[in-house]
Copies of this chain bind each other. A is one copy, B any other.
Amino acid sequence: MTTIREVSKIAGVSVATVSRTLSMPDKVSLKTQKKVQSAIAQTNYKPNILARNFRTRKASTIVVLVPDIANPFFSRVIRGIEQTAQKLGYAILLGDTQGLREREYTYANMVKTSQADGIIQLDCHMPFADEQDAKKFPIINVCDCMKNSDIPTIQLDNVAAAKEITEHLIQLGHQKIGLIHGPKDSVITKDRIKGYSQAIKKANLSFDQSIIVEGDYSVNSGAQAAYNLLKASALPTAIFCFNDEMAIGAIHQIKEMGFKIPEDISVAGFDDNSFAEYSDPPLTTVSQPAEDFGSRAMSMIYDVINDNEIGTTNIFLPYKLINRKSTAAIKKD
């Protein structure tokens, strides 16, 4: 492997000049630059970035902690992160944690060992065993965000969004609105349930725990949850699912059990994934700017890293209710 030293010898300059030609060419005379460039071309020299990173104490790398890379919503967020990272000269270390704390710690450790400059956490956990570490290392929280932490945050107003979609259902005349929610310990889940409750309460409807079931965001779990919901005694006339995957699973199961959508049961989702529009019937849902989440998160961690200002910033990104055919006014009996 060619090193900077060999290039310097061939070019007849010092290593410092080669280094400068590479990172601050404006401080090197054009004539010298040419000599260096020629030596570089001649030797096919590639700077050892590992050495550079070590020397400059910057890994130029960000760890992204994602609960499940196979979830299309998260993939889109990551795509946004990656695009902005590339523009800013950062690389992305992917940490698929599967929601396991242990793996979060392992990956978060990379920032302690200088392998990464910062962390973007897509889940609502503190990825450090020691909470104090969150103040020492650049970290930002996006999508499913912790409450009451000082970590900068980019998120949706999930309470408001869930409230709005529930109200949409209530306006259509639904009084028994079932819920297929996500994992109970997620802040997103809690917030959306809160928004749902607020709408229910505001409309003087009763909050019925028996038509609220849990899923895991998979299509599969949506179908299973719908089955449980429809087997029970108190049949809902509408079901709000916390993502489109579960909604599509639910729709399948509901039709399977002989109900019509939206005539018998309305179904709403969340995310507006690429299938929502093509589901049968097309899915009423809430769209979120997934790529923007990622892009903003990356910009923010960049600022945190480079200004060392680990402040508390909370950004809310807009959502939009997408009204399609899977929800309709309740049937008059």
Contact = CB atoms under 8 A, between A and B. Distances in A.
Nearest to A71: B75
B72 A113 contact: no
Contacts of A110: 49, 91
A78 interface: yes
A252 B50 CA distance: 51
A203 interface: no
A69 interface: yes
Q: Which of A53, A220, A251 has the most CB of B within 10 A?
A: A53
Contact of A275 (B69, B219, B277): B219
A112 B46 contact: yes
A248 interface: yes
Binding site secondary structure of chain A? helix
B274 A218 contact: yes
A83 interface: yes
Contacts of A315: none
A95 B94 CA distance: 10
Given A54-B54, A275-B219, A93 B93 contact: yes
B54 A248 contact: no
A49 B93 CA distance: 15
A55 to B, nearest CB: 8
A79 interface: yes
A92 interface: yes
A258 to B, nearest CB: 14
Nearest to A63: B91
A71 to B, nearest CB: 8
Nearest to A222: B278
A69 to B, nearest CB: 5
A115 interface: yes
B50 A54 contact: yes
A12 to B, nearest CB: 24
Contact of A75 (B48, B70, B109, B252): B70
Interface in A243-296: 245, 248-249, 251-252, 255, 274-275, 277-280
Q: Which 6 A-B residue pairings sit nearest by Cβ, starting from the closest? A: A252-B278, A49-B113, A54-B54, A70-B75, A50-B114, A94-B94
